[in-house]
Amino acid sequence: MSNPSSRKRIVITGLGAVTPLGIGKKVYWDALVSGTSGIGPITRFDPTGFDVRIAAEVKGFEPGDFMDSREARRMDRFAQFGVAAARLAIEDATLTIDEHNAERVGVMVGSGVGGLQSLEDQMRILIEKGPSRVSPFLIPMMIADMATGQISILTGAKGPGSTVVTACATGANAIGDSMEILRRGDADVMIAGGTEAAVTMTSVAGFGNMKAMTSKFNECPQKASRPFEASRSGFVIGEGAGVLILETLENAEKRRAPHIYAELVGYGMSSDAYHITQPAPDGTGVVRAIHHALRDAGVAPEEVGYINAHGTSTPMNDKAETGALKAAFGKHAHVLAVSSTKSMTGHLLGAAGAIEAIAAVLAISEETLPPTINYDTPDPDCDLDYVPNTARKARVEVVVSNNSGFGGHNAVIVMRRFH
């Protein structure tokens, strides 16, 4: 690992969000700060007979606002979200992609699940009408790399293009991997993040039967996601996308980028090597990823002021993550602020790390820490400062965004106030 002081500096110049709390960074941020829940009854399909009948859906999304209607019909919803978030981020950064820089602009927008809705729809047609009626666009609509592909095609970005699939760590891995591409000089700009649209019958049935999602709050969905709280009983599935524009500082200064939200300074990842769905109870995998990220950033644990936690609202995850934070930060774990914005957005799976990175960046630039809502009864096993229920004004210099995924993946990114 190279010396942090000798590497290219990587900055964040644009933010694009498509979330259950609204579309666009400002709407999203304002809802987070006000403690608004984006969870409600499922409308994407008829959930009658399902144990779980709630989700955090994106409302009012019109693909035609971001792409040609013909193009939209050839994309799964997850790719539409990714394109929309990328368009918003590019606009926010006032980034122009043309023949002068196209080969130096890359895309890495991951998805944990990919085009599950398209697969379900075409399987139904296959069974009911036969193989000749299956859409020839099924495969390019379904495969998880197609958000990256469509963004590249529609923006003209011809630099490095790739897709990360690490379940719920996907968004954070995509951002961290994009930073490494920029550091080694393979691009000047990366369009990075995650997207997901898995509020489908198969997904909800599968997660529900796994007992990973809560089924106790169908009648009061806005209370369902309650990370670190004593009565938490499972996560709430969500959908949406988050995209960040990452640039070398040299490139941002050269093109006179209108704003730099923060500097991306560290990235760490690890594997639990423990279980296909459960986190390692001792949290050692998360601890290793945090240590890697802080060392990569050249940051001491005591410099971190805020952590946007994975905080899924499942009994095992929140307990293990709390233990990992205490092991990684020592006494400082009881000083720094920790919150889970999943209490408001639900769990966006492959997009979670991306929209949460946006929240962490804005916590720096807006000098406000988003809360963990629905925090009513403390859990003795979760004994940190979770910014309960109400946003908090605070000036923090360094923030951490922590994510983990099925398969034992852990990904941590570190951001610092830009000086």
Does residue 233 sit in the same domain as residue 296?
no
Does residue 297 sit in the same domain as residue 246?
no
β-strand pairing of 409-416 with 398-405: antiparallel
Name the packing angle between helices 25-33 and 352-365 (round to 10°). Answer: 80
What tens digit of pLDDT does each residue of 88-117 get?
Answer: 999 999 999 999 999 999 999 999 999 999
Q: Known catalytic residue: 275?
A: no
Does residue 197 sit in the same domain as residue 337?
no
Average pLDDT over the chain reads 97
DSSP 200: S
Nearest residue to 381 (alpha-carbon basis) of 227, 249, 228: 228
What tens digit of pLDDT does each residue of 141-162 get?
Answer: 999 999 999 999 999 999 999 9
Helix (H) or strand (E) holding 170: helix 170-183
Does residue 313 sit in the same domain as residue 233?
no
β-strand pairing of 398-405 with 392-393: unpaired
Q: Which of 254, 275, 294 is the last residue of a domain?
A: 254
Average pLDDT over residues 4-18: 91
Spatial contact of 190 and 5, defined as CB atoms under 8 Å apart: no
Does residue 71 sit in the same domain as residue 176?
yes
Q: Which of 254, 274, 302 is the last residue of a domain?
A: 254
Residue appearing with tokens 């193989």: 131
Spatial contact of 53 and 42, defined as CB atoms under 8 Å apart: yes
* Within-domain flag for 234: yes
Does residue 178 sit in the same domain as residue 104?
yes
Domain with 112 in it: what CATH number? Answer: 3.40.47.10
Q: Is the pLDDT of residue 285 over 90?
A: yes
Residue appearing with tokens 């969500």: 238
Structure pTM? 0.97
Does residue 168 sit in the same domain as residue 290?
no
Does residue 332 sit in the same domain as residue 274?
yes
Q: Is the pLDDT of residue 252 over 60?
A: yes
pLDDT of residue 380: 97
Q: Which of 220, 275, 292, 310 is catalytic?
A: 310
Q: Known catalytic residue: 259?
A: no
pLDDT of residue 282: 87
Residues in the chain: 419
Does residue 294 sit in the same domain as residue 244?
no
Q: Is the pLDDT of residue 1 over 60?
A: no
Residue 6: band (very low, low, confident or very high) from pLDDT cuts 50, 70, 90: confident
Residue type, position 73, single letter: R
Q: Known catalytic residue: 168?
A: yes
How far is Cα 368 from Cα 391, in angstroms, rounded to an integer?
7
Does residue 287 sit in the same domain as residue 241?
no
pLDDT of residue 2: 53
DSSP-derived secondary structure for 279-299: PPTT-HHHHHHHHHHHHHHT-
* Within-domain flag for 347: yes
How far is Cα 117 from Cα 124, in angstroms, rounded to an integer?
11
Query: Would you state the structure tokens that stand for residue 261, as one six-digit string?
Result: 């939200």
Does residue 359 sit in the same domain as residue 404?
yes
State the first-to-last Cα distance of the chain, in angstroms, to the nearest integer: 23
pLDDT of residue 367: 98
β-strand pairing of 40-41 with 54-55: antiparallel
How far is Cα 63 from Cα 70, in angstroms, rounded to an integer?
10
Residue type, position 156, single letter: G
* Within-domain flag for 4: no
How far is Cα 316 from Cα 16, in angstroms, rounded to an integer?
31
Q: Is the pLDDT of residue 310 over 60?
A: yes
Q: Which of 168, 292, 382, 409 is catalytic?
A: 168
* Within-domain flag for 391: yes
pLDDT of residue 3: 66
Alpha helices in 330-394 (DSSP H): 342-345, 352-365
Domain holding 95, by residue range, is: 10-254
* Percent of the residues in the chain that have a pLDDT greater than 90, as a whole number: 97
How many structural domains does the chain have? Answer: 2
What tens digit of pLDDT does each residue of 147-200 get?
Answer: 999 999 999 999 999 999 999 999 999 999 999 999 999 999 999 999 999 999
Q: Which of 199, 224, 254 is the last residue of a domain?
A: 254
Query: Would you state the structure tokens that stand for residue 4, as one six-digit string?
Result: 């942090």
Does residue 92 sit in the same domain as residue 183?
yes
Q: Which of 100, 259, 334, 347 is catalytic?
A: 347
* Within-domain flag for 378: yes
